[in-house]
Amino acid sequence: MVFDTLVAEFPFLLRGLWIGIQLLAALLALGFVLGITLAVMSVYGHWSLRLFAVVFERIFRGIPEIVLLLLFFYGIGELLPLSPFVAAVLALGLRSTAYQAQIFRGSIQSVAGGEVMAARALGMSRLGAIWHIVLPQALRRSIGPWTNEYSAELKATSLAYVIGVVELTRQASYIVSNLQGNTLTVFAVVAAMYFVVNRLGNAGLYALERRLTIPGFEGRGAES
Amino acid sequence: MSDNPILSVRDVRKTYGGVEVLKGVSFDLERGQSKIVIGPSGTGKSTLLRCINLLSPPDSGNVVLDGVTVEERGINQIRAQIGFVFQEFNLFTHLRVLDNVRLAQRNVLGRSKQEATRRAMEELERVGLSDKLEAYPAELSGGQKQRASIARALAMDPKLILFDEPTSALDPELTGEVVQVMKDLANAGMTMLVVSHEMGFARAAADEVIFMEGGVIVEQGPPSTLFTCPEHARTSQFLRMISHEHQEA
Ligand SMILES: Nc1ncnc2c1ncn2[C@@H]1O[C@H](COP(=O)(O)OP(=O)(O)O)[C@@H](O)[C@H]1O
Ligand SMILES: [Mg+2]
C-alpha cells in the first residue's frame, strides 16, 4: 500500500524538511545582516562603498541559483572544501543579500530625512541616527516586501539538492526511487509541506508586522 | 552690550549651486536674549539657522558659541548645546513622546534612564504634555507635536534654542498654544533665536528684531522701533505685506 510506505517514509521527509528549514533560516539570516549593511552603505556610504554595493547586487541577482550553487560547491570547494550545506548557505545567502539589500534600501530611503536632521541637531552621530531612528522605522516597513523574499528563498532551498544537501526534495527523490513509482503521491505530500511552511511563515510575518505597527499608522499599508 | 555674547555670528557666507544665499551675516545674541528674524521667503533665514550648528556648514565666516568656535571637530557635543525646533516638528515617528524626549539625553549626554526620564517629565510638564507621555507622534495634534519637540530641545539643557518657523505648519487655531510656550520660555530667560512672522511673539517677547532680505541683514532693532519707524523702505514694505497677510488669515 502506498499509504503504509508513506507513513514509514514520513520521518525521512520530516528530516529533509528540517534540513530545508535550517538552510532557509541560515541563508535568510546571512542575507539579513549583510543586506542591511549593504543597504546602509549604499544610502549613506562613500561613493566607493556605493559602487561596491551596486556591483555586488548586479552580480548576485544576475546569476541563476543553480549556477551559484554549483559555483560555490565545486568552484570555491576546490580551494577550500565546503560541506554541501555550507556551500548552499553561502550561495543562496549572498544572493538573498542582494535582494534583501534592495528591500532595505527602499525602506531606508522612505524614512523622513527631517528626523535624521533632528537627531543630528540634537548631537547624535550619523551612525547613532541610523541605528536609533532610521533602522527601527525602515525594518518595520520592510516586513511586507520581506515576506516575498521568505517565500522565494523557501522554494530556492529545494535547489540545494543539486549539490547533495539532503533536504526535502532530495529525500523525496530517494523515496521515489525506493518505491519505484508513486511519484505523484510523494511529491504531492512534499508540495503540501512546502505550502504549509510558506503559509505559516507568512502568517507569522504578518502578525509581526501588525504587532510592530506604530499607533496612529494602523491600516496605512499593513497587509491584513 | 556685554562683551561675552552667548552666540556670535561673524560674516557668515553660504553658496548653493553658485548662488550666494548668505552674503556675510553678523550679529550677536546675549545670554537670555530673544531675537526674532523676519524676511521674505527664500532669503536665507533657514540657511542661517542651519549654518549656526553646522547642519549646513558655512563657506566662510565663523560662529562662536559661549567663547568656543563652532567647527566640525567635536560638533556633536556643540550641537547638543544648541536646541533646534523645526517647522515640521521632525519628531521620531516610532517613539512615544517620552522616548522622543529621552533618546538624545541618553545617547548624547550619557544620562541615566532615571535622570533622562526626570528631565523629560519636567519639560513635558512645562509645555503642558504631561498626559501625553505614552502617545506616539501620529496621535498628537500639530500644536502638541510642536510642544513635544520644544520639550525635546529643552531637556538637553541647551545654551540657546533656534526656532525655524515653529508655527508655520500649524492650523491658525493651534499657533496660540505654541506661541504661548515660546513666550513663557523667553520670559523665563531662555536664549532664543526665532525665525517667525508671529507678530504676537515679536511684540511680547522679542528683545530685538532682525530683518533679512537677499542674504543680508537689512536692519535690526527693538520691536518698538523697528515695527513703528523702520529706517529702510524695504522693511516697512515687508511689514505692511505681512500685516495684510495676517489680517486675511
Ligand atoms: N540644501 C539646499 N540646496 C540647495 N539650495 C538650497 C538649499 N537650502 C536652501 N537653498 C536655497 O537657498 C535659498 C534660501 O533658502 P532658505 O534659507 O530656506 O530661505 P528662507 O528660510 O528664508 O525661506 C533658497 O533659494 C533655497 O532654494
Ligand atoms: Mg525657511
The 3-state secondary structure of chain B, one letter per residue: CCCCCCEEEEEEEEEECCEEEEEEEEEEECCCCEEEEECCCCCCHHHHHHHHCCCCCCCEEEEEECCEECCCCCHHHHHCCEEEECCCCCCCCCCCHHHHHHHHHHHCCCCCHHHHHHHHHHHHHHCCCHHHCCCCHHHCCHHHHHHHHHHHHHCCCCCEEEEECCCCCCCHHHHHHHHHHHHHHHHCCCCEEEECCCHHHHHHHCCEEEEEECCEEEEEECHHHHHHCCCCHHHHHHHHHHHHHHHHC
B7-215 to CATH, choices 3.40.50.720, 1.20.1730.10, 3.40.50.300, 3.40.50.2300: 3.40.50.300
Burial class (CB in 10 A: 0-12, 13-18, 19+), B107: buried
In angstroms and rounded to an integer, the radius of gyration of the C-alpha atoms of chain A is 21
Which atom of ligand 1 approaches the CA of B45 most closely?
22
What residues have their beta carbon closer than 5 A to ion ligand 2? B 46
Place of cell 555674547: B5
Q: Give the single-character DSSP code of A158.
A: G
Question: In this structure, what C-alpha cell is assigned to residue B120?
Answer: 523629560
The SS3 of residue A211 is: helix
Mean pLDDT of B237-241: 91
Q: What is the pLDDT of residue A1?
A: 61
User: Is residue A161 in some structural domain?
Assistant: yes
CA distance from start to end of chain B: 38
Q: What is the mean pLDDT of residues B134-159?
A: 97
User: Could you tell me the residue ranges of all domains in chain B?
Assistant: 7-215
Distance from C-alpha of A149 to C-alpha of A29, rounded to nearest angstrom? 12
What's the average model confidence in pLDDT over B157-182?
Answer: 94
Question: Which residues are CB-neighbours of B43 under 8 A, at least 6 positions away?
Answer: B212, B213, B214, B215
Mutate to test the interface with B, among A111, A122, A124, A125 (most CBs of B within 10 A): A122
CA-CA-CA-CA dihedral for A103, A106, A111, A114, to nearest 10 = 150
| Cβ(B33)–Cβ(B20) below 8 Å | no
The identity of residue A216, as a single letter, is: G
CA distance B198 to A29: 53
**Residues of the domain holding A195:** 2-211
Q: Which of B16, B36, B84, B210 to mutate to test the pocket of ligand 1 (most atoms within 8 A of CB)?
A: B16
Whether B2 shows a pLDDT value over 60: the answer reads no
Instruction: Please state, in angstroms and as integers, the Cα–Cα distance from residue B171 to each residue in B85, B128, B141, B177, B244, following that order.
Output: 17, 19, 10, 11, 18
How confident is the prediction along chain A (224 residues), in pLDDT tens digits per residue? 667 777 888 899 999 999 999 999 999 999 999 999 999 999 999 999 999 999 999 999 999 999 999 999 998 878 888 899 999 999 999 999 999 999 999 999 999 899 999 999 999 999 999 999 999 999 999 999 999 999 999 999 999 999 999 889 988 888 888 877 778 888 999 999 999 999 999 999 999 999 999 988 775 544 43
Q: What is the mean pLDDT of residues B118-125?
A: 97
Count the domains in chain A.
1
- Examine the pLDDT at B190 and tell me if it is beyond 80: yes
Q: Collapsing DSSP states into helix, strand and coil, what is residue A224?
A: coil
Q: How confident is the model at residue B249 (pLDDT cuts 50, 70, 90)?
A: very low
Give the pLDDT of residue B4: 85
Given this model, what pLDDT does residue A223 score? 40
Which pLDDT tens digit goes with each residue over B208-221?
Answer: 999 999 999 999 99
Give chain A's contact residues with B (Cβ, < 8 Å). 112, 114-115, 117-125, 128, 132-133, 136-137, 140, 214-217
Single out the residue of A42, A51, A35 nearest to residue A109, CA to CA: A42
Nearest CA to ligand 1 atom 3: B16
Q: Domain for residue A131, yes or no?
A: yes
Q: Which residue is closest to B75 within chain A, CA to CA?
A: A123
- d(CA A149, CA B205) in angstroms, rounded, equals 57
* pLDDT tops 80 at residue B163: yes
Report residue B3 as a C-alpha cell: 562683551
Q: Is a pLDDT exceeding 70 seen at residue B106?
A: yes
Instruction: Check residue A219 and give its pLDDT.
Output: 56
Least confident of A209-218, B44-53, B187-196: A209-218
pLDDT value of residue A175: 86
Q: Is the pLDDT of residue B186 over 50?
A: yes
pLDDT at B211: 96
Q: Does B134 touch chain A (CB under 8 A)?
A: no
For the entire predicted model, the pTM comes to 0.90
CATH at residue A42? 1.10.3720.10
Please indicate, yes or no, if residue A76 is contained in any of the structural domains. yes
Chain B contact set for A123 (CB, 8 A): 76-80, 104, 108-109, 156
Give the list of residues 6+ apart from residue B150 with CB closer than 8 angstroms, or none. B85, B123, B127, B161, B166, B178, B181, B182, B185
